[in-house]
């Protein structure tokens, strides 16, 4: 099981193309399914210990993976049962089922087990589960002592098999019931019911403890609301080479200051204050805690720390060519003073982090006309206001916005998407729900400002800022306030 940091993320079509490329070299689908099922079996065996396992198999290749996993688990000595939704519809899944020597129960009648493995639907689910299965398999006739090793003629599709006659079963209801009854629920590739690429649920699945992604991560594992159903995510290698412009965010390489460092070599950040001075204070504090050597706050400010250099807002103060990044937007306001300060900031030719009210005062064309590196940090409301609403998925929207403005776009949320104009994307996994409190966005803007001023390229700066922010939140536990979060950036940075 591979941890997900830094891993490429592929859409369903890209994953199929990667598999097809391997198949074109002479490797069969059955071989890939065998690798997938075997990897699943070993992972499940490690997690399940001696607990009994129930594997739910669907009609496609996701179900095929389930049959292979069942066979290998049985060979490994595990107590394993299989329940099927319907007949296999692919040759590979049929072959996999034929390789399972035990009985196959009807999903409608299967009793729970302590460990539940969902191999009903994977990347092939393209429409909602309508709640009923079209071909409910009948329970095979029970033979005395029928356990593992039962003859193959007991399974659906065999001469002894009789199709369902006892009505339809609600797939979704059975999945929920059996998952809830289990103490460990594992989804194969993705929880059944979720769309692979959009982050949406076609049908609401239960919440799993763990999802074993096959061959590569997919957007479903990172985008909300889908990701919250996946639980922990681990990647299983199935020998399919994959590359993508989209990667999971990973911890940044941030070198500590060298012996010849001084405050300016570590990066000077200018933060522009506005009507709500506290927001700019938070951004400035965050820039300092993230490691900036010198932070100056231009405009009215009152709070600590003493290390923050305060100055009146002026074109002269803005013209300081030591400033490596300007942060503008937190608490800026939208009045005439705010517009004057924003115009001056855009004219000052420093790399920019544009947040909050700055995003409300600008339009995409004006951002596109800027010649300095620019990082935008909109939350969903600011994003909609700037780029318009759209039904597209969050990755597509962030990419389009980056291409349109020429800026790095940090589309914030529980599933922050960072997109560059050249199409590269970084996806931040599993943000703390406690980040939903005032001022945390200001902290992010400041942290990104520190990274930009330190000389990281804009995508790396945005990614490093988001990572530090997420790690600081994780370290802060529950019920922190934005001031605590800014302070915790120090410990997040120290953990690298």
Ligand X SMILES: NC(=O)C1=CN([C@@H]2O[C@H](COP(=O)(O)OP(=O)(O)OC[C@H]3O[C@@H](n4cnc5c(N)ncnc54)[C@H](OP(=O)(O)O)[C@@H]3O)[C@@H](O)[C@H]2O)[C@@H](O)CC1
CB of 260 to ligand X, least distance (A): 53
CB of 179 to K ion, least distance (A): 11
CB of 211 to K ion, least distance (A): 8
Residue 89 gets which letter from DSSP? -
Which residues in this chain contact K ion in the complex, by CB under 5 A?
118, 187-188, 192
What does 65 bind: ligand X, K ion, none (CB cut-off 5 to 8 Å by kind)?
Answer: ligand X
Distances (CA, A) of 330 to 5, 454, 476: 30, 21, 22
The string of DSSP codes covering 383-448 is: HHHHH---SS-HHHHHHHHHHHHSSEEEE-STT-EEE-TTS-EEE-----GGG-STTHHHHHHHHH
Question: What secondary structure, in 3-state letters, does 291-309 show?
Answer: CCCEEEEECCCCCCCCCCE
Q: Which tokens hold the place of 42?
A: 């070993």
Q: Which tokens hold the place of 259?
A: 């012996």
Tell me the C-alpha distance between 127 and 456, whole Å.
43
For the chain, how far is it from start to end, CA to CA, in angstroms? 23
Which residues in this chain contact ligand X in the complex, by CB under 6 A?
16, 19, 29, 32-33, 36, 58-65, 89-90, 121-129, 188-189, 214, 238
User: Is residue 162 packed enough to be buried (19+ CB in 10 Å), middle (13-18) or exposed (0-12)?
Assistant: exposed
Q: Is 416 annotated as a binding residue?
A: yes
Q: Is 192 annotated as a binding residue?
A: yes
Q: Is 179 annotated as a binding residue?
A: no
Q: Which is nearer to ligand X, 21 or 142 (CB)?
A: 21
Q: Which tokens hold the place of 184?
A: 């460990």
Q: Which is nearer to K ion, 150 or 192 (CB)?
A: 192
Q: Is 379 annotated as a binding residue?
A: yes
CB of 56 to K ion, least distance (A): 8
Q: Is 118 annotated as a binding residue?
A: yes
Tell me the C-alpha distance between 113 and 50, whole Å.
12
Q: Which is nearer to K ion, 34 or 118 (CB)?
A: 118
What does 123 bind: ligand X, K ion, none (CB cut-off 5 to 8 Å by kind)?
Answer: ligand X
Distances (CA, A) of 216 to 15, 33, 43, 160, 429: 7, 14, 16, 39, 15
Q: Which is nearer to K ion, 105 or 118 (CB)?
A: 118
Q: Is 128 annotated as a binding residue?
A: yes
Q: Is 337 annotated as a binding residue?
A: no
Please provide residue 116's backbone torsions phi and psi, each rounded to the nearest 5 degrees: -110, 130
CB of 430 to ligand X, least distance (A): 22
Which residue from 184, 23, 164, 71 is spatially nearest to 118, judged by alpha carbons? 184
Residue 258, classed as helix, strand or coil, is: coil
CB of 24 to ligand X, least distance (A): 12
139: number of CA atoms within 13 Å, CB side?
Answer: 13
Q: Is 167 annotated as a binding residue?
A: no
Q: Which is nearer to K ion, 205 or 421 (CB)?
A: 205
What does 118 bind: K ion, ligand X, none (CB cut-off 5 to 8 Å by kind)?
Answer: K ion
Please list, in sequence order, all residues whose beta carbon lies within 8 angstroms of the beta carbon of residue 313, skipping any fewer than 6 positions away: 272, 273, 298, 299, 341
Residue 158 gets which letter from DSSP? S
What does 382 bind: ligand X, K ion, none (CB cut-off 5 to 8 Å by kind)?
Answer: none
Q: Is 215 annotated as a binding residue?
A: no
Q: Is 325 annotated as a binding residue?
A: no
Q: Which is nearer to K ion, 80 or 287 (CB)?
A: 80
Q: Which is nearer to ligand X, 24 or 144 (CB)?
A: 24
What does 90 bind: ligand X, K ion, none (CB cut-off 5 to 8 Å by kind)?
Answer: ligand X
What does 238 bind: K ion, ligand X, none (CB cut-off 5 to 8 Å by kind)?
Answer: ligand X
Q: Which is nearer to ligand X, 193 or 430 (CB)?
A: 193
What does 59 bind: ligand X, K ion, none (CB cut-off 5 to 8 Å by kind)?
Answer: ligand X
Tell me the C-alpha distance between 70 and 76, whole Å.
10
CB of 290 to ligand X, least distance (A): 39
Which positions make up the binding site for K(+)? Answer: 62, 118, 192
Which positions make up the binding site? Answer: 61-65, 118, 122-128, 189, 192, 279, 331, 379, 412-416, 441-442
Which positions make up the binding site for (6S)-NADPHX? Answer: 61-65, 122-128, 189, 279, 331, 379, 442
């Amino acid at each position: 099981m591979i941890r997900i940091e830094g891993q490429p993320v592929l859409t369903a079509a890209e994953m199929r193309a990667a598999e097809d490329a391997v198949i074109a070299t002479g490797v069969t689908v059955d071989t890939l399914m065998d690798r997938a099922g075997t990897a699943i079996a070993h992972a499940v065996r490690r997690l399940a210990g001696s607990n009994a396992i129930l594997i739910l198999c669907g009609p496609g290749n996701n179900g095929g993976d389930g049959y292979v996993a069942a066979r290998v688990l049985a060979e490994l000595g595990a107590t394993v049962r299989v329940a099927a939704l319907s007949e296999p519809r692919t040759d590979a899944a049929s072959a996999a089922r034929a390789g399972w020597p035990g009985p196959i129960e009807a999903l409608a009648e299967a009793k729970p087990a302590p460990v539940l493995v969902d191999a009903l639907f994977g990347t092939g689910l393209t429409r909602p589960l309508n709640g009923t299965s079209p071909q409910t398999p009948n329970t095979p006739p029970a033979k005395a002592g029928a356990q593992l090793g039962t003859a193959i003629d007991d399974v659906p599709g065999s001469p002894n098999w009789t199709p369902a006659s006892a009505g339809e079963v609600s797939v979704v209801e059975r999945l929920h019931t059996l998952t809830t009854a289990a103490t460990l629920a594992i989804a194969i590739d993705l929880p059944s019911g979720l769309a692979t690429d959009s982050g949406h649920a076609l049908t609401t699945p239960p919440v799993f403890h763990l999802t074993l992604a096959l061959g590569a991560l997919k957007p479903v594992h990172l985008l909300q609301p889908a990701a919250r159903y996946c639980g922990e995510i681990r990647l299983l290698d199935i020998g399919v080479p994959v590359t993508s412009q989209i990667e999971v965010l990973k911890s940044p390489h941030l070198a500590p200051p060298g012996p010849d460092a001084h405050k300016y070599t570590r990066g000077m950040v200018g933060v522009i204050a506005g009507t709500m001075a506290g927001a700019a204070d938070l951004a400035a504090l965050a820039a300092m805690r993230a490691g900036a050597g010198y932070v100056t706050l231009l405009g009215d400010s009152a709070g600590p720390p003493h290390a923050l250099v305060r100055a009146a807002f002026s074109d002269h103060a803005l013209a300081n060519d030591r400033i490596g990044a300007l942060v503008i937007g937190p608490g800026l306001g939208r009045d005439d003073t705010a517009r004057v300060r924003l115009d001056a900031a855009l004219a000052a030719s420093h790399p920019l982090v544009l947040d909050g009210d700055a995003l409300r005062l600008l339009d995409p064309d004006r951002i596109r006309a800027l010649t300095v590196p620019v990082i935008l940090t909109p939350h969903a409301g600011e994003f909609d206001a700037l780029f318009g609403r759209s039904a597209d998925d969050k990755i597509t929207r962030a990419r389009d916005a980056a291409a349109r403005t020429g800026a790095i776009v940090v589309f914030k949320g529980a599933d922050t998407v960072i997109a560059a104009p050249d199409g590269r994307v970084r996806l931040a996994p599993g943000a703390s729900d406690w980040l939903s409190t005032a001022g945390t966005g200001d902290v992010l803007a400041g942290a990104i400002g520190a990274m930009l001023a330190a000389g990281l390229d804009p995508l790396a700066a945005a990614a490093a800022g988001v990572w530090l922010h997420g790690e600081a939140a994780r370290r802060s536990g529950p019920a922190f306030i934005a001031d605590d979060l800014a302070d915790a950036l120090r410990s997040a940075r120290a953990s690298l």
